[in-house]
């Protein structure tokens, strides 16, 4: 009772905003012993695990998105900041003494367990939950233990992690070393199961979980600091650091086509991938039939406009060098004549000198043969006079041929009408999908009708949370581990699936299955209830979302078709001009070579 009196004296407006803080004591008579306390009644708040657990979130916080969870995490840090600035320590940090409203505000319950040191009096918190207890306190008795704000910061980081990572515990993962490991052992050994250093810590995250890289780098670094060895010795991230980093994270989000929020730097939406793995939604995202459009489009009218876009037609043949009659280049011909004339004069001199020498030195047949050889050599000498020019023109011919080959390649890929018809066929397939949406909805509804009993059973079993159950051998730590593997309710229990969870052997798995079977035996199928409105709503949402996407694709397609047609015609005109220029160059080269 002395503690309650001290707490009343410490009460402030800020504490009352974040907690059910006692505001007065009750007495049978003035000055008499304390018989009770007066505290604010907290309305509209639910325990935080009902928000971060995907299944209960869908029912208890149906409008909650990932930004809502991030905002709640920031408000949780603000609440811890208020408590610590008042010189208090929460001590028993856990998911049961924190409440969240549908406005993402946070309040502490059970404040009488807080550690209070004031006026020379010391009231310790001698209780705690192991899954939220820091490594330096694991295995220690809380009796007589003075806690610090840094101890609280570990439990706060665990709750923030669970908010952002769908209830997964940061130390519940696959133990890569031989033997099993509990969450408590992993905490004591600083074996955070996420991030780039997880493998070195002999840990791996559970399947179908958000990777640490999916949050912003500053937030990821805060988790590493909070759960690493330095946090125990040099201090863990304080609430203000979390408030700033989480606020920045919320500003860095964008939405995917299915409505999920994720960090804009990611190439793909991680939530879509996870939902594909687990086969169910993590967020209650709904798309109205007219979402993203002013009204449902008139598909027949739009398709008539698409069909009316004229095709560019087949590409005409390119011009060829043979289409052009070119005269030899006069300058080049003149240069060739000069070279031939110069060699001719030299050849005449060589023949004269050679003839005199041959007749003077040789006789008869030998002299005749020598003169023939001389004349042949001189003729070859004169003939090669234009070789440098022919070689120069030949190199130019090679360059022009390469240019012509490149134009022909681009003509085939850019000037044809194949891409136009491919786009039109794609748009026709989109129109067919739109036309088929009513039938698709009917198929989905028939499938739901065929699964009516199974779905009623699943909803019935989903009402029984493992967290609230009393199952021999399944304590708080194992419950947290099961939740980290996505096993939250009786509906999630399957023998093969449960046996994959670390620390759950055949005996415990059988107990979980027995618990489910006992619950299932009480289930009574009611065919008169018909389809659940939530299931129908999900089908209609999926159909509406698909219609919106297809309508946008068809609307864009009309514009794309016009643009593509004009682009093809523009490329044809440009490439045809280039082909004309190159063909003329090639014809000129052929004329020059003949002249040389």
Instruction: List residues with catalytic annotation.
Output: 92
Measured at the CA of 589, the angle between CA 585 and CA 594, to 5 degrees, comes to 150
Distances (CA, A) of 140 to 96, 135, 146, 212, 585: 22, 10, 12, 30, 91
Q: Is 346 helix (H, G, I), strand (E, B) or coil?
A: helix
DSSP 461-516: HHTSBGGG---TT--HHHHHHHHHTT--BGGG--HHHHTTSTT--HHHHHHHHHHH
At 489, phi and psi to the nearest 5?
A: -125, 175
Distances (CA, A) of 313 to 303, 572, 580: 20, 11, 21
264 Cβ neighbours under 8 A, 6+ residues apart? 252, 253, 254
H or E element at residue 417: none
Report CA dihedral (369, 372, 374, 378) to the nearest 10 degrees.
-170
H or E element at residue 175: strand 174-175
H or E element at residue 100: strand 98-101
8 A C-beta contact, residue 81 and residue 240: yes
Burial 493-504 (b: 16+ CB within 10 A, else e): beeeebeebbbb
Q: What sign does the dihedral 213-219-223-228 (CA atoms) show?
A: positive
- Please identify which residue in the block is written with the tokens 């015609």: 569
Rounded CA gap, 324 and 178, in Å?
Answer: 83
Rounded CA gap, 92 and 115, in Å?
Answer: 9
Burial class (CB in 10 A: 0-12, 13-18, 19+), 96: middle
DSSP state at residue 358: H
241 Cβ neighbours under 8 A, 6+ residues apart? 222
H helices within 415-451, ranges in order?
Answer: 418-450
**For the chain, how big is the Rg over CA atoms in Å?**
42
């Amino acid at each position: 009772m002395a503690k309650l009196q001290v707490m009343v004296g410490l009460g402030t407006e800020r504490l009352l905003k974040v907690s059910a803080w006692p505001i007065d004591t009750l007495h049978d008579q003035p000055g008499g012993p304390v018989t009770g306390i007066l505290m604010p009644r907290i309305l509209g708040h639910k325990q935080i695990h009902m928000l971060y657990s995907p299944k209960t979130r869908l029912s208890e916080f149906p409008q909650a998105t990932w930004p809502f969870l991030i905002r709640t995490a920031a408000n949780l840090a603000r609440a811890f900041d208020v408590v610590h600035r008042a010189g208090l320590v929460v001590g028993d940090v856990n998911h049961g003494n924190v409440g969240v409203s549908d406005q993402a505000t946070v309040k502490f319950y059970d404040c009488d367990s807080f550690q209070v040191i004031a006026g020379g009096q010391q009231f310790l918190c001698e209780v705690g939950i192991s899954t939220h207890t820091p490594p330096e306190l694991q295995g220690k008795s809380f009796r007589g233990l003075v806690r610090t704000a840094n101890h609280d910061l570990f439990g706060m980081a665990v709750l923030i992690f669970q908010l952002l990572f769908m209830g997964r515990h940061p130390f519940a993962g696959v133990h890569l070393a031989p033997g099993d490991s509990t969450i408590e052992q992993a905490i004591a050994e600083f074996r955070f199961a996420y991030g780039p250093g997880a493998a070195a810590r002999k840990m791996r995250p559970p399947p179908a979980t958000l990777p640490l890289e999916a949050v912003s780098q500053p937030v990821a670094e805060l988790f590493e600091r909070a759960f690493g060895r330095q946090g125990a010795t040099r201090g863990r991230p304080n609430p203000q650091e979390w408030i700033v980093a989480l606020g920045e994270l919320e500003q860095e989000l964008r939405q995917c086509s299915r409505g999920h929020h994720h960090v804009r730097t990611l190439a793909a939406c991680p939530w879509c991938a996870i939902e594909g793995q687990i086969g169910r939604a993590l967020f209650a995202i709904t798309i109205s039939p007219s979402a993203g459009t002013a009204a449902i489009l008139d598909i027949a009218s739009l398709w008539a406009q698409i069909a009316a876009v004229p095709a560019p037609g087949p590409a005409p043949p390119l011009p060829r060098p043979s289409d052009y009659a070119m005269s030899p280049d006069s300058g080049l011909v003149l240069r060739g004549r000069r070279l031939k004339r110069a060699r001719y004069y030299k050849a005449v001199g060589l023949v004269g000198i050679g003839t005199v020498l041959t007749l003077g030195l040789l006789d008869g047949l030998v002299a005749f043969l020598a003169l023939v050889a001389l004349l042949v050599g001189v003729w070859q000498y004169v003939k090669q006079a234009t070789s440098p020019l022919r070689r120069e023109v030949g190199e130019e011919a090679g360059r022009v041929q390469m240019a012509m080959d490149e134009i022909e390649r681009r003509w085939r890929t850019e000037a044809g009408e194949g891409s136009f018809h491919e786009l039109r066929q794609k748009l026709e397939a989109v129109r067919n999908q739109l036309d088929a949406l009513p039938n698709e909805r009917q198929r989905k509804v028939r499938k739901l009708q065929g699964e009516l009993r199974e779905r009623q059973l699943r909803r019935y079993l989903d009402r029984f949370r493992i967290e609230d159950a009393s199952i021999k051998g399944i304590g708080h730590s194992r419950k947290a581990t099961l939740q980290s593997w996505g096993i939250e309710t009786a509906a999630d229990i399957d023998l093969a699936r449960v046996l994959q969870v670390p620390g759950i052997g055949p005996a415990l798995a059988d107990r979980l299955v027995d618990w489910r079977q006992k619950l299932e035996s009480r289930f009574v199928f009611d065919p008169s209830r018909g389809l659940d409105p939530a299931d129908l709503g999900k089908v209609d949402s999926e159909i509406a979302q698909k219609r919106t996407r297809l309508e946008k694709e068809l609307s864009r397609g009309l514009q794309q078709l016009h643009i593509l047609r004009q682009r093809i015609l523009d490329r044809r005109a440009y490439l045809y001009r280039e082909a004309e220029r190159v063909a003329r160059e090639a014809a000129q080269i052929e004329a020059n070579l003949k002249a040389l």
